[in-house]
Structure 1
Amino acid sequence: MKKQRPVNLDLTTIKLPSAGKASILHRVTGVAMFFALIFVIWAWATSVSSADGFALVKDIMQGAFGYVIALGTLSALSYHFIGGVRHVVMDMGHWEELKSGNTSANVAIGLWIVVTITLGVVLW
């Protein structure tokens, strides 16, 4: 018996709708927040350990690396929150159709981009 299945699936040919991209992005930002939490816990533990530790964390956070970490963490948190609110609304029975689901996904992604740019300007 010969199975008719793809042997080498080219993932670049698959076109996901906006709702699928928003769902994957929600999962990715959840993982990103987990890894950002590792840095946050380290920075907190180091900063409260001694005056030198506080100075070290302060120097790191005032540099470019600290800006990228802070903006990345806040960006992931903001999308995860926006996507979470979208999922809660969908759980209540709204935006479940294909058109409204894609529209809400596009709005969530657009709002996330605006929030991230605003955070970048404020943190700068």
Structure 2
Amino acid sequence: MVDAQNEVKNTKPVYRNIGLAQLIHYRLPWAGKVSILHRISGAVLFLMLPFILYLLDQSLASELSYQKFQAITNHILVKIICLGLIWCFLHHFCAGIRYLLLDLEIGVEKSESNRSAIVVFVLGVALTAAVGLKLFGLY
């Protein structure tokens, strides 16, 4: 009787906390990386909402404010911030579509989920690069 109870106890999975030193060596699957980036991009978009609304206000208020808007956005630092916000939006959008498909139980298998996570990451970076070329006047 005691042996049967010990066998049951031994078959239970053991969950261990990961220490900070172990995080460097921990390899997250692509789905986990995309999930974390989805959360980060959503938080950044939310926190930068006042800046985005300010730029929208400056671009729509009047002709003079539009010229001020152009002067603000011609600065290289503002362009880099805008490019980061563009990546946040595009990644959040593409990952959101992926999660909607997962909610519909499309692509929930491990290999399909991994493939869709890679597609979301590459698509977000590629779309950001295309918009970035236009933003910096290279295309």
TM-score (norm: length of structure 2): 0.74
1:58-105 deviation line (CA, Å, top 9, x unaligned): 311111122112211111111100000000000001111211111110
Q: CA shift at 1:56, angstroms?
A: 3.7
2:26 pairs with 1:24: no
Q: CA shift at 1:42, angstroms?
A: 2.8
Residue 42 of structure 1 aligns with which residue? 54
Structure 2 residue runs of 5 or longer lacking an equivalent are 1-15
* Counterpart mapping for 1:1-124 below 5 A: 8-10=19-21, 11-45=23-57, 48=61, 51=64, 54-124=66-136
Structure 1 residue runs of 5 or longer lacking an equivalent are none
- Percent identity at matched positions? 31
Looking at structure 2, the residues matched to 35 and 45 of structure 1 have their Cα atoms a distance apart, in angstroms, of: 17
Looking at structure 1, the residues matched to 35 and 58 of structure 2 have their Cα atoms a distance apart, in angstroms, of: 35
Q: Which amino acid aligns with 2:90?
A: S
> More deviation in 60-69 or 26-35?
60-69
Q: What CA RMSD, in Å, does the superposition of the two structures yield over aligned residues?
A: 2.4
Looking at structure 2, the residues matched to 28 and 7 of structure 1 have their Cα atoms a distance apart, in angstroms, of: 21
Structure number with the bigger relative contact order (C-alpha 8 A, sep ≥ 6) is 1
Q: Which amino acid aligns with 2:43?
A: V
> More deviation in 39-48 or 58-67?
39-48
Q: Which amino acid aligns with 1:16?
A: L
Greater C-alpha radius of gyration: 2
